[in-house]
Amino acid sequence: MPAPSHNALRIILKILALLTAVAGLFLIFVGRPMFARMPFHPPESEVTTMLLIVVKEMGGLILMVSAMFFLASRDPVRNVAILDALIIGLCVLAITPIVSLYTLDARSLYPAYLIWGRAVGRLVLAAVLFFLKPREGAVTVK
């Protein structure tokens, strides 16, 4: 029996690696004026040095995740744990904004339909990755 091809999964992981690398580099090199022009337009007085430090550290973490996606895209069968973590993370990231929508005053920052849309998009991506990930009994031949 021929081994299943995981080309679609490899392509999705490489696209995610590229997008997260760009986002991570942006967060690392963003300055105070550029941060104030981001989509949610925080007041200039709320963009503190501590916030910028945390944003730059988050950019480093995102670059680390980007490297994990790229390495997992090279051999998805051996890196199923990274795929599982990505799927779980996407599910958690789909739930937390909805919780904050109803427990905090998040409607003042974003409209509710954008929060729900992002949550549904993340769940759809998690479902696609779940169905594309290699199964335990899959044997690959190179």
Q: What is the pLDDT of residues 57-104, one digit of tens each?
A: 999 999 999 999 999 999 888 888 888 999 999 999 999 988 888 888
Top-confidence residue, 2 or 87 = 87
What's the confidence (pLDDT) of residue 1?
Answer: 41
What's the confidence (pLDDT) of residue 4?
Answer: 65
Q: Is the pLDDT of residue 53 over 90?
A: no
Q: Is the pLDDT of residue 142 over 60?
A: no
pTM as predicted = 0.74
Tokens of 137: 């009994």
Q: What is the dihedral of CA 46, 50, 55, 57, to 10 degrees?
A: 180
Q: Is the pLDDT of residue 23 over 50?
A: yes
The structure tokens 């991570």 sit at 24
Helix ranges (H only) for the chain are 7-29, 32-36, 49-74, 80-103, 112-132
What's the confidence (pLDDT) of residue 3?
Answer: 55
CA distances 115 to 9, 71, 87, 123, Å, are 26, 30, 19, 12
Three-point CA angle 5, 72, 117, nearest 5° = 90
Whether the CB-CB separation of 73 and 13 falls below 8 Å is answered with: yes
Output DSSP code: residue 1.
-
pLDDT tier at 126, thresholds 50, 70, 90: very high
Q: What is the Cα Rg of the chain in Å? A: 18
Mean pLDDT of the chain: 85
What's the confidence (pLDDT) of residue 139?
Answer: 53
What's the confidence (pLDDT) of residue 122?
Answer: 93
Name the percent of the chain lying above pLDDT 70: 89
Span 28-55, average pLDDT:
78
